[in-house]
Structure 1
Amino acid sequence: MSHLPQIRIPATYMRGGTSKGVFFRLDDLPATAQVPGEARDSLLLRVIGSPDPYGKQIDGMGGATSSTSKTVILSRSSRPGHDVDYLFGQVSIDRAFVDWTGNCGNLTAAVGSFAISNGLVDAARIPRDGICTVRIWQVQIGKTIVAHVPVSNGAVQETGDFELDGVTFPSAEVQIEFLDPADEGEDGGAMFPTGNLVDALEVPGVGTLQATMINAGIPTIFVNAQDIGYSGTELQGAINEDAKALAMFESIRAHGAVRMGLIGDVAEAAGRQHTPKVAFVAKPATYTSSGGKVVAAGDIDLLVRAVSMGKLHHAMMGTAAVAIGTAAAIPGTLVNLAAGGGERQAVRFGHPSGTLRVGAEAQQADGVWTVTRAIMSRSARVLMEGWVRVPAEV
């Protein structure tokens, strides 16, 4: 029996923030995968090594976690005032499914760097030394993101002394601005889809929980840690090794998604794994991070833990950080109350790997809250570049 040889596709393996994924130029993909659909999804699944019933992604580029099972497709933007169009695909580990419903804020930090290095930004706009401002159009959420990428000797500067909790080694700092990050939705609704800063969310088998449900950065459901039996200082093992806890978070996510209007029935949540996210918040407390660093209560404004793709995240998703910063800036949300209440333009929160600072500018007009931008610092680095190979029959 004869077998077709593997095909090879130009690709770059990059870390962005506390995530990593495989980056492609749209024009480098096979013609059938240059448009959305089954061919594209099949290709990306095979690149990452999914679906894998063993949960390891051994036969692919994925790292068997939500933070490392990711793909990015970039192209020059035809949208005025933008440099690059950005598509993000969250690849399921154990299912033949690519979720295109949201953005990855961490990998966003690598988009500008890739765009500069791969000819997607006009050469005239790239300084020999300084900061190159890359305007990114995030296609799925329809939002503008601005990356401020350091450049040295005409090339992206990746090395530096900026330290990001959750990343082992220091790198160059990349500042990211999420402009108008709230998702108004097709019907023009506000960033709070229920119209309330806090709702009573009924979750069968769990109870009625106070919840702040917000569309900013990424749809996110915030609950109080104490209401679900936690302190807010938990590390991954406390949640991810507890099947009952994971089932509870998935139930909260499904019922919250219905209340947010993202799905019509809880049964649809299984087909929308990437969004919404679930996070629990608490007032500051001292704890030891997963890396052994002591995080003092006096050094943070609040505690936040977030669940992504069915597991507690090892640090914090970048898009969820946008939701945290936005909610913290609005008096009365659970996030704001955990941080001490009142008006604020930035918070530093504790997560399993350490701390992160995020700022947001929010304002209220005629009883409606809007946010103009959220900003945070990340880092990015090329890990490998060349070609990724997949069997031709894919």
Structure 2
Amino acid sequence: MPHVPQIRIPATYIRGGTSKGVFFNLEDLPEAAQLPGAARDALLLRVIGSPDPYGKQIDGMGGATSSTSKTVILSRSIKPGHDVDYLFGQVAIDKAFVDWSGNCGNLSAAVGSFAISAGLVDASRIPRNGVAVVRIWQANIGKTIIAHVPITEGEVQETGDFELDGVTFPAAEVQLEFLDPAADEDGAGGSMFPTGNLVDDLVVPGVGTFKATLINAGIPTIFIDAQALGYTGTELQDAINGDPEALARFETIRAHGAVHMGLIEYVEQAAQRQHTPKVAFVAAPADYQSSSGKTVAASDIDLLVRALSMGKLHHAMMGTAAVAIGTAAAIPGTLVNLAAGGGERSAVRFGHPSGTLRVGAEARQVNGDWTVTKAIMSRSARVLMEGWVRVPGDTF
């Protein structure tokens, strides 16, 4: 019986922040996958190696974690005032599912450099030496991101001495500005706080009732006090990911929080929306040892944050969740702000499992409603491999 040969598709494998993903130029995709739908999803699943009942993604480019099971599609922007349209697909590991409901803040750091290298940014906007300002339209959530990409001799500079906790080697710094990051899709109604409250009583049948800050900024996020969950906020991955009961409890909290935020109608729908919302727990500063063995001193941070992504505790911090943290910290009265000591602040440095991260946000109150004009953080990005990915010709 004859079998179809493999086809090859131009692709680039890039680390952005503390994530890795396969990047595509939209025009390089097979015609059937250039439009949203089943063919595109099937292609990306096969590229990454999902669904994999073994949970390893051995037969694909994925790394069997939420941070490394990611895809990006870029194209010249059709949005006025923007250079590139950026679409992010979070690929489930053990299920045949690609979640398009949110952005990846970490991979956002690689979008500008890929866009420049792929010729998607007008050459007149690229200096010979200096910093290229790339205007990105984040198509998943309809928001603008500004990437400041270092350029040397007309080429993207990837090497440097900027260190990012959660990434082993230093690289060039890429500053990101997330403009007006409050989410406004999927029933969030454009409000940063979809319930109208800075703190809600989140009732989770069979689990408990928790004080929670439910915020749409960067990515929809549910913040809960670590102590209310029986944690200190200094936990590393194994403490959570090695506890099936804890993971099930967090998923139940996430599902009910999604309903409370108006993102879904019924808790059962949460299974088809794994990427959003995120769940995070916060605590006041405390000394702890990061996953690399480095000591993080309480005096060096404003608060502790641990966040889950795709059902597991993240090894560092998602970039979009960092936007939510910075935004919530800037608004007096949220659980994040209170964990950081309360009061007004324009930036926080928080401790996560791999170390620390600083994020700033400009928030203000207008007619009784809180708005945030932008959130700012620094990341780095590096091309790991470029060429073609191959998939069986009957994949899609």
Asked whether the two chains share a fold, i.e. TM above 0.5, the reply is yes
Deviation at 1:95, TM superposition (A): 0.2
Which position in structure 1 is the counterpart of 2:313?
A: 312
- 8 Å contact 2:188–2:262 — kept in the other structure? no
SS of the equivalent of 1:223 reads strand
Which position in structure 2 is the counterpart of 1:247?
A: 248
SS of the equivalent of 1:166 reads coil
Mapped partners of 1:139, 1:106: distance in 2: 16
Which position in structure 1 is the counterpart of 2:13?
A: 13
Mapped partners of 1:393, 1:181: distance in 2: 39
Mapped partners of 1:92, 1:78: distance in 2: 29
Which position in structure 2 is the counterpart of 1:151?
A: 151
String of CA shifts for 1:366-387, please: whole Å, max 9, x gaps.
Answer: 1100000000000000000000
Which position in structure 2 is the counterpart of 1:277?
A: 278
String of CA shifts for 1:328-370, please: whole Å, max 9, x gaps.
Answer: 0000000000000000000000000000000000000111000
Which position in structure 1 is the counterpart of 2:172?
A: 172
Mapped partners of 1:65, 1:289: distance in 2: 19
Which position in structure 2 is the counterpart of 1:386?
A: 387
Deviation at 1:135, TM superposition (A): 0.2
SS of the equivalent of 1:342 reads coil
User: What code does the residue aligned with 1:4 have?
Assistant: V
Matching of residues 51-200 of structure 1 within 5 Å: 51-185=51-185, 188-200=189-201
Matching of residues 348-363 of structure 1 within 5 Å: 348-363=349-364
Which position in structure 2 is the counterpart of 1:47?
A: 47
Asked if 1:34 corresponds to 2:37, the answer is no
String of CA shifts for 1:117-163, please: whole Å, max 9, x gaps.
Answer: 01000111100100000000001100000000000010000000000
Mapped partners of 1:309, 1:184: distance in 2: 21
String of CA shifts for 1:157-179, please: whole Å, max 9, x gaps.
Answer: 00000000000000000000000
| TM-score normalised per structure 1 | 0.99
Deviation at 1:183, TM superposition (A): 1.4
Which position in structure 2 is the counterpart of 1:326?
A: 327
- 8 Å contact 2:182–2:190 — kept in the other structure? no
Mapped partners of 1:246, 1:146: distance in 2: 35
SS of the equivalent of 2:327 reads helix
Q: Report how many residues are paired.
A: 394
String of CA shifts for 1:38-79, please: whole Å, max 9, x gaps.
Answer: 000000000000000000000000000000000000000021
User: What code does the residue aligned with 2:269 have?
Assistant: E
Matching of residues 248-267 of structure 1 within 5 Å: 248-267=249-268
Asked if 1:237 corresponds to 2:245, the answer is no
Mapped partners of 2:216, 2:390: distance in 1: 37
Mapped partners of 2:378, 2:228: distance in 1: 31
Deviation at 1:187, TM superposition (A): 7.0
Deviation at 1:189, TM superposition (A): 3.9
Mapped partners of 2:35, 2:254: distance in 1: 30
Deviates more, 1:296-305 or 1:176-185: 176-185
Which position in structure 2 is the counterpart of 1:303?
A: 304
Q: Pick closer, same or farther for the CA change 1:187–1:105 going to 2, 3 Å.
A: closer
User: What code does the residue aligned with 1:119 have?
Assistant: G
SS of the equivalent of 1:59 reads coil
SS of the equivalent of 1:144 reads strand
User: What code does the residue aligned with 2:123 have?
Assistant: A
Which position in structure 1 is the counterpart of 2:226?
A: 225
Q: Pick closer, same or farther for the CA change 1:373–1:159 going to 2, 3 Å.
A: same
Mapped partners of 1:188, 1:308: distance in 2: 24
Structure 1: segments with no counterpart, 5+ residues: none
Which position in structure 1 is the counterpart of 2:337?
A: 336
Deviation at 1:193, TM superposition (A): 0.3
Mapped partners of 1:125, 1:370: distance in 2: 31
Structure 2: segments with no counterpart, 5+ residues: none
User: What code does the residue aligned with 1:179 have?
Assistant: L
Report % sequence identity. 81
Mapped partners of 2:146, 2:390: distance in 1: 32
Q: Pick closer, same or farther for the CA change 1:236–1:256 going to 2, 3 Å.
A: same
Which position in structure 1 is the counterpart of 2:348?
A: 347
- 8 Å contact 2:188–2:261 — kept in the other structure? no
SS of the equivalent of 2:389 reads strand
